[in-house]
Amino acid sequence: MNRRDFNKLLIFTIFYNYSKSNLLANKQIENQLTNYGENLLTLPDNLSDTALYINKDIEKPNKIQKYYLTLDDGYFYQEEMINIANEKNIKLNLFIIGKIIEQDPKLWLSAIEHGHLLGSHTYSHLIFSKNSYQKIKTDFEIYKQKISNVIGLENFQKIKYFRFPYGDEGSKRNKQDINKLITETYGWNIVRWDLDLSFNHQVKVRSFSHNEQIATYKHYCNNTKIDKNVILLHFKQPDNLCLKSFIDFGLEQNFEFMRLDDKKDINLLFEKENIINNDDFESHKFIL
Ligand SMILES: [Zn+2]
């Protein structure tokens, strides 16, 4: 069986077994996937048409590349991950949940002082497609009131970017109003992502292993278009390891790691589509 057939069979088997709630079979698949992730490290360069979680939009490798490291939520390993970047003089783009900022504002103020960019990720990380526009609007008002209070109005006014919780942009019913709220009322730029190194959405929002993360970003960096460079990580394991290895790898390759406001052609951010399925939200929520 070639690898493409293997992938098809794997996806079908996963779907079949999840639907049957067969725990034993799921465990076996988990092991298979772990092995698959490790195998990715040794696959040849023609990996592009076989990898499960890599964008098919492939071009020649880039010599000089810029990356935007974006880190969401803020639950775990905050100091460790920010210090990794500080030690290498790398600037991060932080989309921290308002409630989390409120718990320890000094930590995030220190990050801002070190030159990292703070973006909005809402106050309470609501699932937009499952909440009313009014509830979301109220969440934004609470975010503004509480966060400008704890980080200061001047720092709050420097917030220019927004990321949707769970990548969920809303339902048909409220999507348009939400978009207006973000871009017009608050004047924030919507930031999606090109490469999610935290979760493997092909397999029901399963967290990547560290080996999978390394294999995925190395392949991505070597094969992806120059403007596909917004990377998504979270403050969690193994993303703390991934951040360090990505920065080390990037510095060896002469990559530049940038703040989003260093990006000249910001419109590119509006063209990208990285929306996960509604079914994934609960499990993502469970993980985070
Ligand atoms: Zn989030």
- pLDDT band at 228; cut points 50, 70, 90: confident
Domain covering 64-288 in this structure, CATH number: 3.20.20.370
Q: Measured in angstroms, how far is the CA atom of residue 125 from the centroid of ligand 1?
A: 6
Report the pLDDT value the prediction gives residue 281, as an integer from 0 to 100.
41
Report the pLDDT value the prediction gives residue 227, as an integer from 0 to 100.
76
- pLDDT band at 206; cut points 50, 70, 90: confident
Indicate the range of 62-71, 119-128, 248-257 predicted with least confidence: 62-71
pLDDT of 121 higher than 50: yes
Q: Measured in angstroms, how far is the CA atom of residue 96 from the centroid of ligand 1?
A: 8
What average pLDDT does this structure show over 33-42? 34
Rg (CA), the chain: 19
According to the per-residue pLDDT averaged within each range, which of 48-52, 62-66, 86-90, 263-267 is highest? 86-90
Q: Give the largest CA-CA distance in the chain.
A: 60
Give how far Cα 178 sits from Cα of 72, 82, 84, 156, 184, Å: 20, 31, 35, 20, 10
- pLDDT band at 50; cut points 50, 70, 90: very low
- pLDDT band at 10; cut points 50, 70, 90: low
Report the pLDDT value the prediction gives residue 18, as an integer from 0 to 100.
47
Report the pLDDT value the prediction gives residue 7, as an integer from 0 to 100.
65
What average pLDDT does this structure show over 6-26? 52
pLDDT of 280 higher than 60: no
Give how far Cα 222 sits from Cα of 4, 25, 61, Å: 21, 35, 5
pLDDT of 142 higher than 70: yes
What average pLDDT does this structure show over 59-63? 46
pLDDT of 265 higher than 60: no
Q: Which segments of the chain belong to CATH 3.20.20.370?
A: 64-288
Report the pLDDT value the prediction gives residue 129, as an integer from 0 to 100.
97
Chain segment 243-252, per-residue pLDDT in tens: 999 999 999 9
Q: Measured in angstroms, how far is the CA atom of residue 148 from the centroid of ligand 1?
A: 20
Q: Measured in angstroms, how far is the CA atom of residue 132 from the centroid of ligand 1?
A: 19
pLDDT of 196 higher than 90: yes
Q: Measured in angstroms, how far is the CA atom of residue 232 from the centroid of ligand 1?
A: 10
Q: Measured in angstroms, how far is the CA atom of residue 280 from the centroid of ligand 1?
A: 13
Nearby residues for ligand 1 (ion, Cβ within 5 Å): 72-73, 165
Q: Measured in angstroms, how far is the CA atom of residue 286 from the centroid of ligand 1?
A: 12
